[in-house]
Chains A and B, each alone.
Chain A
Amino acid sequence: MKTANQQTLTIPRQGQRINLALHVAGVVILFILPAFLSSYIQSVMTRFLIFALFATGYNLAFGYAGLTSLGHAAYFGAGGYTVAVLKLHYGSDLFWVGAPLGILVATLVAAMFGIIALRVSGIYFLLVTFALGQLLYSVAWNVSWLNTPGMQGVSGLSLPTFGIAGFALNTTSFYYLVLLVCLICFYLLFRIVNSPFGRALVGIREGEDRMRSLGYNTWLYKYLAFVISGAFSGIAGVLFGYYNYLISPTHLGVGTSFLPMCMAIIGGVGTLLGPVIGAAVIIFVELYASIMTPERWPLILGGLFVLAIMFAREGIGVYLWRLCNKVGHHYGSTKS
Chain B
Amino acid sequence: MKKFIVLFLAILLPASVAFGAPEKPLKIGAILNYTGPAAMLGPLFKNGIVKALEENDNKIAGRPIELIVEDAAGDPSVCLEKARKLVERDKVKIIIGPLMGDAHLAIAPYMANKNVLITTLYCGDIQLGNYRNWLTYPTTLVGLTVPLGWYAHDSGYKTMVMITSDYAGGHGFMKGVRMGFEQKGGKVVQEVFVPVGTADFGPYHSTLKDADCVAFFVPNTAESARLITQYREFGVKMPLLGTTLAADLPEAVMKDLGDNVIGVRGQAAYIWSRDNPVNNNWVKAMEKRFGMTPGGLANNSYCITSAILAALKATGGDESFDKLWPALVRVQLDTPQGPLSFTPEGFAITDGYIVEAKVIDGKYMWDPIKVYPQVLDPRLAK
Contacts and interface: CB of A to CB of B under 8 A. Distances in A.
B288 interface: no
B71 A297 contact: yes
A294 B70 contact: yes
A316 B108 CA distance: 38
A91 interface: no
Interface stretch (A65-73, A183-191, A283-291): A283-291
B34 interface: yes
Contact of B89 (A40, A285, A319): A40
B3 interface: yes
Interface in B55-71: 69-71
Contacts of B102: 151-153, 248
Contact of B88 (A40, A246, A251, A291): A40
Interface string A252-287: 000000000000000000000000000001001101
Interface residues on A, range: 35 or more
Chain B interface, DSSP helix/strand/loop, else mixed = helix
Given A150-B168, A248-B76, 18 more contacts: A38-B89, A40-B84, A40-B89, A41-B89, A150-B105, A151-B106, A155-B106, A155-B108, A246-B77, A246-B80, A284-B11, A287-B81, A289-B14, A290-B70, A292-B18, A295-B34, A297-B71, A316-B7
Contact of A152 (B15, B84, B167): B167
Nearest to A281: B11
Given A155-B105, A156-B109, A298 B35 contact: yes
A105 to B, nearest CB: 21
Contact of B80 (A245, A281, A289, A316): A245
B109 A245 contact: yes
Contacts of B77: 244, 246, 248, 250-251
B14 A151 contact: no
A150 B88 contact: no
B101 interface: yes
Contacts of B76: 151, 153, 246, 248
26 contacts: A39-B88, A40-B89, A41-B89, A150-B127, A151-B76, A151-B101, A151-B106, A151-B125, A155-B105, A155-B106, A155-B109, A158-B109, A244-B77, A245-B107, A245-B109, A245-B110, A246-B109, A251-B77, A288-B15, A290-B71, A294-B71, A295-B34, A297-B35, A316-B7, A320-B4, A323-B1
A323 B105 contact: no
Interface of B: 1, 3-4, 7, 10-11, 14-15, 18, 32, 34-35, 42, 69-71, 73, 75-77, 80-81, 84-85, 88-89, 101-102, 105-110, 125, 127, 167-168, 172
B20 to A, nearest CB: 12
Contacts of B105: 148, 150-151, 155
Given A288-B11, A311-B3, A312-B3, A43 B35 contact: no
A122 B362 CA distance: 59
A87 to B, nearest CB: 10
Contacts of A152: 102, 167-168
A44 to B, nearest CB: 8
Contacts, number: 102
A168 B301 CA distance: 38
Chain A interface, DSSP helix/strand/loop, else mixed = helix
B3 to A, nearest CB: 6
B170 to A, nearest CB: 11
A275 B77 CA distance: 22
Contact of A43 (B73, B88, B101, B106): B88
B88 A294 contact: no
Given A43-B88, A298-B35, A290 B73 contact: yes
Nearest to B35: A298
A320 B106 CA distance: 38
Contacts of B32: 294
Nearest to A323: B4
Q: Which 5 A-B pairs have the closest CB atoms?
A: A294-B71, A40-B88, A151-B102, A40-B89, A288-B14
Nearest to A255: B75
Contacts of A250: 75, 77
